[in-house]
Structure 1
Amino acid sequence: MSERWTRSRAAGAGAVASAALLIAGGLLGRPDVAVLGAAPLVAAAWDLWRRPSGELTVRVTGWSAGADGDGSEADGDGAGPDAQAGDGASRAGASGDGASDPRAARTGAVRARVLLDAPPGMTAALVGVRRAGRDAAELLVRVDRTRSLPVVVRTVRTGPQEVATVDAQGIGAGAASIGEPTDPVQRTALVLPSPSALRDLPLPPRLRGLTGAHTSRRPGEGGDLRDVHMFAPGDRLRRIDWRVTARRAPDLRELYVRREHALAEAVVLLVVDSRDDVGPDPRTWRGAEGPRAQDPTSLDLGRHAAASLAQRYLAVGDRVGLDDLGARRRPLPPGGGRRQLDRIRHALAVTRPEGEPPKRLRPPQIPSGALVVVFSTFLDDEASRVAGQWRRGGHRVIAVDVLPEVRERHLDDRERLALRIVRLAREDRLAGLADLDVEVVSWRDDPAVTLAGLARRGRRRPGAGVPA
């Protein structure tokens, strides 16, 4: 539709007052009064003649999403202040520090450019940025035919989401005329989970392959010292230990070689339960209303936890795969390298609840000897049942509890009683997993320390972390 420009209220009131002074001066024979009204009236006529006639267009381009300090910003002229829209707050500036606590999802930054194309005669624009139906930022900027404005939206949520809605209203020269607001331009972005640094992680009971970063019990090369043995066919001459040979066989009738353990890799399968996406407020668990935009949900924490573990395992050369309990789609097979981490982060970002989840008759198939890590809220029996079947099948299973810290101060008595029943049932499920030797880790407490403890526990058990 064509842009319609109207006279502003201030300009219209000034024109009426000038005309009244001009008429009054003519009727009363007061040229001084008429002169006072003539000049503003001529200026109003001039502003009416040079009123813009085109339409203002708004475009949003260059979306990029990532953690603070990781995202890239689209190219532009960079003029003007940044319009920063946060969850529940508005402020100027584009800098900020991401959260370093691995227990919470890191703050993500989505960067874009708002491009304004103004018609001739337009000098300024009032730009509004809204998020989740709330006014986040509003600023008045000068426009000389075109203007590019950087926008930074900070969010603790991950996955596909509506990021911002932008509209603008043009202002003519001298603010004498204003245009109708443009149609809102809405854009969505896929916010990838940002991993946090973790320390030692647990390993599966058996290692695989002939290369890797972990020492196995098989003889080979590259690992720790296995033993000193007599030279046999197949041993390399550079493995001869001359000191031991000189001590045990001074006449050199026998040679002794140093044998080492071979290196191997671990296979880890990350299993995300996307059936639940609940926030800290129990009143939103029924699904009638969603959690607040400033509250990370259980699925946000699950994505963040899975990405953190994937980054650490892949960094040491292990192979990592991904599966989803809430959807019947082809799992991401185990792989290694930086590209595998990118695949896992993207697969985690698009993981979301998809209606009524299908009933699984048996747990998903996993590679032999793999470590299984299940990320779930354990609000029902499905995730704990599948984890128990994997553990009874001989796999080492770690259950990561990603339920957010529940806020209950605003609940009434009936809601508190319902929450207590849910908590008791959930604690029974976690206790049942512990009885099956499934190791439970809460992402709310201190996952880095807990996971490091599980890694030390695995090394203390005879044969753990190495093949039999």
Structure 2
Amino acid sequence: MTVWTPTPALSRATVAAAAGLVGAALTGSPALAILAAPFVLPVVLGLLGRPSSTPRVTALLGATRLPEGQGTTSTLQVEDGEEAEQVTRVVARAPYVVARPASGALSVLTGDAADSVVEIGARRWGRPQVGDEQVALTSAWCGYRWGPERLGAQQLTVWPLAAAYDSTAEAPQPDGLVGAHRSRRVGSGTEFAGIRPFAPGDRLRRISWPVSLRTRELQVVTTRAEQDASVLVVVDSLRDIGVSGGVDGRASSLDLTVRAASALADHHVRRGDRVGMRVVGPGDARVPFGSGPRHLHRITGTLTRVVPDTATVPDETLELGVTGGCVVYVLSTMLHAPVVNATALLSARGVAVVVIDTLVARDLDELGGPTSAAGLAWRMRMLERDLMLERLASLGCPIVPWRGPGTVDVVLRQQARRGQVPRVRAR
């Protein structure tokens, strides 16, 4: 239990005052008594103001969930601390978390409660531990000190800042019930499909009277159904290539992957599609298919818990468990054979797969130059990666780098046209 203890300043002042008074009494020199007088007054006032209360301190965060790049405040609440004159806070630093004041140290009078607030800003998505600090209270005339008392860290959930993204392309093979994507089958939609003779069961409002008068037979207008699509976002978190500079700095490969995944999920949920997610890495997190704002919040919360796997070797086999009628976005650096093999297997099954390359360009000078050991290893690894991507592209799987709005529009339209081409099947 933390109690009030004399401060070193009070101890030094007491020793100086006692030495001066005792020396003046023994030697009969009034000069020593005059020299000791400035120390006597603080000692007496400090001893008279000895606190008897038991303070309790608590640090409260203004918000525990916030988007990347925004900030919150940490407010210190002191109970039974009326006898304290000054409060001192020293907040420990956390990765990708900035504070104001920048040093994390703050000392104010207890009467200025508004000045004892530490501002905290999150510079990168994740779940950082903030608020690990030590608090000390000082009584009047710096006589007694309570603490320092350590306050445990609190978890802050930082959502990834969704990259700017929008798409006008439709899903190649929508498989839902009602949505915004044009289906290949005829149904009650708004997209014109053709005109055919009237049949029992057709609605009267579908009759095309101009064509019926011209052909002297009832003709009806047919339209294509509009369906929602199933979208699976695969996040490769096996490794993080590059150094992250935060929300305003240079992005690492995992930064680009997480922010792009958040943008894709947000876009398709707003369009009414059913979105699922699979994180390839530590924990193997899976989010089933769903729709709506609550489901998007669940996906975003899962992305905040993504961490790179730097200790284990990925398994050689990876099964994504996806069937036809689903659009699969694979956001990966494509540096690991299991991810490439799983993508090739889905493409061979006829699943609409789009590989979004999130590998950031690396400066060879940061690795010691192109002829250094690290530079040569990286160049050899890039040659192996290019070979795997060429084999994957030969199977008909599109590979596009992430560039924001319209990243996958062209490839989705190509896959939609490819799906409308008649296929010859052997029996």
TM-score by length of 1: 0.75
Q: 2: CA distance between counterparts of 1:118 and 1:442?
A: 59
1:382 to 334, 338, 351: 338
2:377 match: 418
Q: 2: CA distance between counterparts of 1:339 and 1:316?
A: 15
1:305 and 2:260 aligned: yes
1:452 match: 409
Would the alpha carbon gap of residues 181 and 268 (structure 1) be closer, same or farther in structure 2, given more than 3 Å must change? Answer: same
1:271 and 2:238 aligned: no
Q: 1: CA distance between counterparts of 2:139 and 2:231?
A: 62
- Do the aligned residues in 2 keep the contact of 1:117 with 1:146 (CA within 8 Å)? no
Partner SS state of residue 310, structure 1: helix
1:140 and 2:107 aligned: yes
1:161 match: 128
1:261 and 2:216 aligned: no
Partner SS state of residue 160, structure 1: coil
The answer to which of 212-221 and 173-182 deviates more is 173-182
- Do the aligned residues in 2 keep the contact of 1:118 with 1:145 (CA within 8 Å)? no
Q: 2: CA distance between counterparts of 1:39 and 1:280?
A: 57
1:128 to 90, 111, 130: 90
Compare relative contact order (CA 8 Å, sep 6+) and give the higher one, 1 or 2: 1
Q: 1: CA distance between counterparts of 2:168 and 2:10?
A: 68
1:233 to 200, 205, 208: 200
Aligned residues: 409
Would the alpha carbon gap of residues 207 and 415 (structure 1) be closer, same or farther in structure 2, given more than 3 Å must change? Answer: same
1:372 to 328, 338, 341: 328
Pairwise CA distance, 1:415: 2.0
Pairwise CA distance, 1:370: 1.0
Pairwise CA distance, 1:237: 1.2
TM-score by length of 2: 0.81
Would the alpha carbon gap of residues 361 and 2 (structure 1) be closer, same or farther in structure 2, given more than 3 Å must change? Answer: closer
Pairwise CA distance, 1:411: 2.9
Q: 2: CA distance between counterparts of 1:361 and 1:415?
A: 28
The answer to which of 179-188 and 233-242 deviates more is 179-188
The answer to which of 198-207 and 165-174 deviates more is 198-207
1:50 match: 49
1:286 match: none
What is the letter of the counterpart of residue 335 of structure 1?
Answer: G
- Do the aligned residues in 2 keep the contact of 1:270 with 1:320 (CA within 8 Å)? yes
Pairwise CA distance, 1:458: 4.2
Q: 2: CA distance between counterparts of 1:411 and 1:223?
A: 57
Partner SS state of residue 156, structure 2: strand
The answer to which of 123-132 and 295-304 deviates more is 295-304
Pairwise CA distance, 1:164: 4.0
Would the alpha carbon gap of residues 407 and 184 (structure 1) be closer, same or farther in structure 2, given more than 3 Å must change? Answer: farther
Pairwise CA distance, 1:247: 4.1
The answer to which of 454-463 and 165-174 deviates more is 454-463
Q: 2: CA distance between counterparts of 1:266 and 1:122?
A: 63
Partner SS state of residue 450, structure 1: coil
Q: 1: CA distance between counterparts of 2:51 and 2:361?
A: 55
Pairwise CA distance, 1:150: 4.6
Partner SS state of residue 409, structure 1: helix
The answer to which of 413-422 and 6-15 deviates more is 6-15
Partner SS state of residue 222, structure 2: strand
Would the alpha carbon gap of residues 277 and 46 (structure 1) be closer, same or farther in structure 2, given more than 3 Å must change? Answer: same
2:175 match: 208
What is the letter of the counterpart of residue 231 of structure 1?
Answer: F
Q: 1: CA distance between counterparts of 2:327 and 2:407?
A: 16
Would the alpha carbon gap of residues 277 and 111 (structure 1) be closer, same or farther in structure 2, given more than 3 Å must change? Answer: farther
1:64 and 2:64 aligned: yes
Would the alpha carbon gap of residues 157 and 12 (structure 1) be closer, same or farther in structure 2, given more than 3 Å must change? Answer: same
Q: Unaligned stretches of 5+ in structure 2?
A: 422-427
Would the alpha carbon gap of residues 459 and 339 (structure 1) be closer, same or farther in structure 2, given more than 3 Å must change? Answer: same
Pairwise CA distance, 1:386: 0.9
What is the letter of the counterpart of residue 416 of structure 1?
Answer: G
Would the alpha carbon gap of residues 236 and 297 (structure 1) be closer, same or farther in structure 2, given more than 3 Å must change? Answer: same
Q: 2: CA distance between counterparts of 1:441 and 1:112?
A: 43
Q: 2: CA distance between counterparts of 1:142 and 1:55?
A: 18
1:175 match: 142
Q: 1: CA distance between counterparts of 2:131 and 2:240?
A: 22
